[in-house]
Structure 1
Amino acid sequence: MNGEESLLQTISSYLDQGRDLAMGWATSPAAWSQFALLIVSWGAAAFATRKIVPRIEAWVRPRTEGAGLFAALLRFALRFVPMVLPLLAYGFTAVGEAFTRQVFGSGAVIAFGKRLFLFFAARLFVAHVLTDPFLRLLGRYVLIPVAALNALGLLGPVSDWLESLTVEMGNITFSVMALIRGLIAGSLLFWLGSWSNRQSADYIKAQEELRPATRELAAKAAEVVIFGAAFLLLLNIMGIDLTTIALLGGALGVGIGLGLQQIAANFISGIILLIEGQTTVGDYVELDGGETGTIVKMTARACILETFDGRWIVVPNEHFITTRVVNYSDQGSANRYEAPFSVSYETDIDRVPAIIERAVADLPFVLTAPDGPDCELRAFGESSVDFAVEYWVNGIDDGRNKYQSQVLFAIWRALKAEGIEMPYPRRVVEMRTQKG
């Protein structure tokens, strides 16, 4: 109750001061002259805006469809056009304030007008310049309220009041103002860090002369550096002594030792994978558990495999270090497959290899190096002679390419064209009847 009464008394005191100030302005010739200067400044700014803005737009707009950094800067500059009017009014008012202070010895009214024009500029800045949703949200709920408090002359008292309130977290004490300042600065720093990380990652991944593993490692290193620098800068802004990081580091070490072992192991394994480069994005792999897929993303904790049917499998990095992993691809290397088939025992089997090798070699995706198609006799089955043709292709038969399906079709057509029968199981059934 005492806190509420104190707050109500403070608000009442400010209202009384505002009423007294308004009455003083209403009866003061100096205040009226300052009001007149504000109106003249706004009118002069409006007149200048009508003359300047069309020229600015005519100079900028013809280049807005161009590409490149300069065109992007021109398009960005075009967003500031709506702010020309309040900023010009602010500048003209500043000149008038210097005049009134020399003549009348005061300039409270014109100073209020300056702050009001600045508030209008802040609103237009949020509405027209900020396009990122996060920055616009921050401008709407931070920049505009701060500009409103500044216009009313309450920014200093509110800041002092927030500075007097404290929050205790163990042995560390924060003022509410420092906490708010840290939240705002942290939001901006980590947004800037995310933007910088995206730009640096796009630039690094565009360097085709580097190995894929090297690009991934450089992108991760840039990410660690950017966000590490943002974190240290945030601590400095909040006024936290960096020596307290030693305590935080000790606690983090205990946490890793007790509960974060797997996370640390996966993180270190990810670094090893990127350095060695034996497994990288784009490789088709088979894990020890039988999972197969193409690596589409490598993070600090896990690799993402995409199967041929579009499913994503998240595999911890540690599995690539501690278990057997079969890598079927190395940036598009050739792979060997085989297609089994059978013929009947009535077939002249000496003709079969040449027929099948010729038919498979005619397929456009079958390679001649490191070896052409090779048809081999595998076994004498119960009701058929079993063969298999081995062939090389440049890629993975992962369900998208369907190499083996086309090879089997070619084998079927070749055998049919030569009149060779592909047998099916035959059984002799003997029926016995008992004589009565």
Structure 2
Amino acid sequence: MNPDELSHAPLEQVQEIALGLAARSELFLIGLLRPWNAYQLFIALGIFVAALVLAAVLKPRVHEWMRGLEGRPKWQMRVLVLMHRRLRMILFVLLIWVVVAVMKEVTWPSRSYLLGVISELATAWLFIVFATRLIANGLMRSAVRYGAWAWVTLSILGLTSEAQTLLDSFALSVGSTRISLWLIAQAAVTLGLLIVVARFLSTSTSARIRSNPEISPSMQVLAIKFLQVVLYGTAFFYGLKLVGVDLTGLAVLSGAIGVGLGFGLQKVVSNLVSGIIILLDKSIKPGDVISLGETFGWIQSLGARYVSVLTRDGKEYLIPNEDLITGQVVNWSHSNEFVRLDIFFGAAYDDDPHKVRRIAIEAAAGVKRVLSFKPPVCHIVGFGDSSVDYILRFWISDPIGGLTNIRGDVFLALWDAFQENDISIPFPQREVTMLEGSTLRTTNQRAAAVDLPD
């Protein structure tokens, strides 16, 4: 076959398939004009109207019944909501199957053939609606749903071989690999189904891992990430293998792409590796309170590229994993939740320091968040110009509750205790000595001197 004949072969094949489909469509339309086929269409229309009326009557009652259900698992409620939305279609499928069963018993098979086809189509469409709800992505869900509807319709009508031949006729050869529309459609459906299965397994297994108290939070994140990579990677490569894609060429291509990405995405790779190191060494985990530079907050989640840190003012910082590996990080709750805080204050020289220390310790111990089994301590740290300087140290076990607020509560308790016990908090005072022969002039006197005439 010469190149011209080769280029025209797919076009001739398409024309031949189109003529065959047109002939079968003509026969189908002629068949609809027969009386026993026409009344089957009217029966199907009557069943649809009946399902519409029943759905309008039953939907409010089903909705009230669903509102009374409490404590049910979330997945059960989602199924019930989906069934409530598709109640008309469910009723149509049930009614038409009952009618088909009755007609097969009381009349010839040809008198219910068209109703049987409609019932099979409606059942398949309804099943596809429920099955595709497992797909979270809206675009992928729509693509799989309409693609499955088209293929099931062709299967029930007996047109799968013609559709397969038509899609396979549009092909592109790259070396020894032949890529056709049929191969692409197979790959899309297969990968979509496998990814849905992988996502379901990942979600259910992740929930069990998170609910296991014996696994640390950091190891939970690591196990979930590893599980997702394994499941989705297996689904992708196994799906390609099922449709006949040569993975050897894909491996060579991925190696070449990997070399190019290694130079252009060094930071991204560094953050990925740093994230794995963080999960393995358990240096930080979700819920830890950390300080990194001026950022202070608790870790919300550990991502593949960054760590989410939520501060007290509601800001969420996305800190790259590399910064947590190479920078200095203060983890307030790494080995335990106990945190010691220090506050400084001064008292007058006239006040007994033993009494000041005792009152300060009692005041700090009375604050709610201060730990009693790690009692506060107070020490003199110096003799200042205006006061005796003290340091008060106390422990808390909930740094996630904030540090500034607990310091403020302790300062307020000190203020109240000092006021009750007549302990003064001094402030710097300055003395002005007048030299002999100097005069003191106020601001009004200086202004009047400036306004005097010459």
The equivalent of 1:50 in structure 2 is: none
Contact preservation (8 Å) 1:355, 1:414: yes
Distance 2:214 2:402 in 1: 30
Distance 1:4 1:184 in 2: 26
Instruction: For 1:245, give the aligned amino acid.
Output: L
Query: How big is the shift at 1:186?
Result: 2.5
The equivalent of 2:351 in structure 1 is: 347
Q: Secondary structure at the match of 1:351?
A: helix
The equivalent of 2:124 in structure 1 is: 122
Query: How big is the shift at 1:207?
Result: 0.4
Q: Identify which of 173, 176, 189 aligns with 1:184.
A: 189
Query: How big is the shift at 1:39?
Result: 8.9
- Residue 19 (structure 1) aligned with residue 26 (structure 2): yes
Q: Identify which of 232, 254, 268 aligns with 1:227.
A: 232
Q: Cα distance 1:270–1:96, how it changes in 2: closer, same or farther (>3 A)?
A: farther
Contact preservation (8 Å) 1:86, 1:121: no
- Residue 319 (structure 1) aligned with residue 326 (structure 2): no
Between 1:242-251 and 1:132-141, the stretch displaced more is 132-141
Distance 2:268 2:142 in 1: 34
1:267-346 mapped onto 2 (5 Å cutoff): 267-287=272-292, 289-330=293-334, 333-346=337-350
Query: How big is the shift at 1:343?
Result: 1.4
- Residue 381 (structure 1) aligned with residue 384 (structure 2): yes
Contact preservation (8 Å) 2:288, 2:299: yes
Q: Secondary structure at the match of 1:293?
A: strand
The equivalent of 2:255 in structure 1 is: 250
The equivalent of 2:431 in structure 1 is: 428
The equivalent of 2:375 in structure 1 is: 372
Q: Cα distance 1:77–1:140, how it changes in 2: closer, same or farther (>3 A)?
A: closer
Query: How big is the shift at 1:389?
Result: 0.3
Contact preservation (8 Å) 1:112, 1:151: no
Contact preservation (8 Å) 2:370, 2:395: yes
Q: Cα distance 1:71–1:183, how it changes in 2: closer, same or farther (>3 A)?
A: closer
The equivalent of 1:417 in structure 2 is: 420
- Residue 211 (structure 1) aligned with residue 216 (structure 2): yes
Q: Cα distance 1:309–1:39, how it changes in 2: closer, same or farther (>3 A)?
A: closer
Between 1:237-246 and 1:277-286, the stretch displaced more is 237-246
- Residue 360 (structure 1) aligned with residue 370 (structure 2): no
Distance 2:27 2:220 in 1: 67
Of all paired residues, the percent bearing the same amino acid is 26
Distance 2:194 2:152 in 1: 21
Query: How big is the shift at 1:77?
Result: 9.1
The equivalent of 2:452 in structure 1 is: none
Contact preservation (8 Å) 2:44, 2:96: no
- Residue 165 (structure 1) aligned with residue 167 (structure 2): no
Contact preservation (8 Å) 1:35, 1:110: no
Q: Cα distance 1:408–1:40, how it changes in 2: closer, same or farther (>3 A)?
A: closer
The equivalent of 2:95 in structure 1 is: 85
Contact preservation (8 Å) 1:332, 1:395: no
Q: Secondary structure at the match of 2:270?
A: helix
Q: Identify which of 265, 268, 272 aligns with 2:270.
A: 265
Query: What does the per-residue CA deviation read over 1:69-120, in whole Å, with 9 as the maximum and x for residues that have no partner?
Result: 99789969997953333445667788999x76xxxxxx7x976554333222
Query: What is the TM-score with the length of structure 2 in the denominator?
Result: 0.74
Q: Secondary structure at the match of 2:399?
A: coil
Q: Secondary structure at the match of 2:249?
A: helix
Q: Secondary structure at the match of 1:341?
A: strand
Q: Secondary structure at the match of 1:377?
A: strand
Between 1:299-308 and 1:128-137, the stretch displaced more is 128-137
Q: Secondary structure at the match of 1:303?
A: strand
Instruction: For 1:121, give the aligned amino acid.
Output: T
Query: What does the per-residue CA deviation read over 1:368-423, in whole Å, with 9 as the maximum and x for residues that have no partner?
Result: 34x41111112222322221100011121763782111110111111111111111
The equivalent of 1:51 in structure 2 is: none
Which consecutive residues of structure 1, in runs of 5 or more, have no partner in the other structure? 48-53, 101-106
Query: What is the TM-score with the length of structure 1 in the denominator?
Result: 0.77
Distance 1:70 1:261 in 2: 41
Number of equivalent positions: 410
Query: How big is the shift at 1:185?
Result: 2.8
Q: Identify which of 396, 407, 427 aligns with 2:399.
A: 396
Q: Secondary structure at the match of 1:278?
A: coil
Q: Secondary structure at the match of 2:354?
A: coil
Distance 2:175 2:69 in 1: 55
Between 1:413-422 and 1:317-326, the stretch displaced more is 317-326
Distance 1:136 1:300 in 2: 26
Contact preservation (8 Å) 2:191, 2:240: no
Q: Cα distance 1:131–1:69, how it changes in 2: closer, same or farther (>3 A)?
A: closer
Q: Cα distance 1:174–1:88, how it changes in 2: closer, same or farther (>3 A)?
A: farther
Query: What does the per-residue CA deviation read over 1:214-245, in whole Å, with 9 as the maximum and x for residues that have no partner?
Result: 22222122111211121122212332122233
Contact preservation (8 Å) 1:283, 1:331: no
Contact preservation (8 Å) 1:182, 1:238: yes
Query: How big is the shift at 1:140?
Result: 4.9
Q: Cα distance 1:7–1:177, how it changes in 2: closer, same or farther (>3 A)?
A: closer
Distance 1:318 1:94 in 2: 71
Instruction: For 1:84, give the aligned amino acid.
Output: L
1:190-201 mapped onto 2 (5 Å cutoff): 190-201=195-206
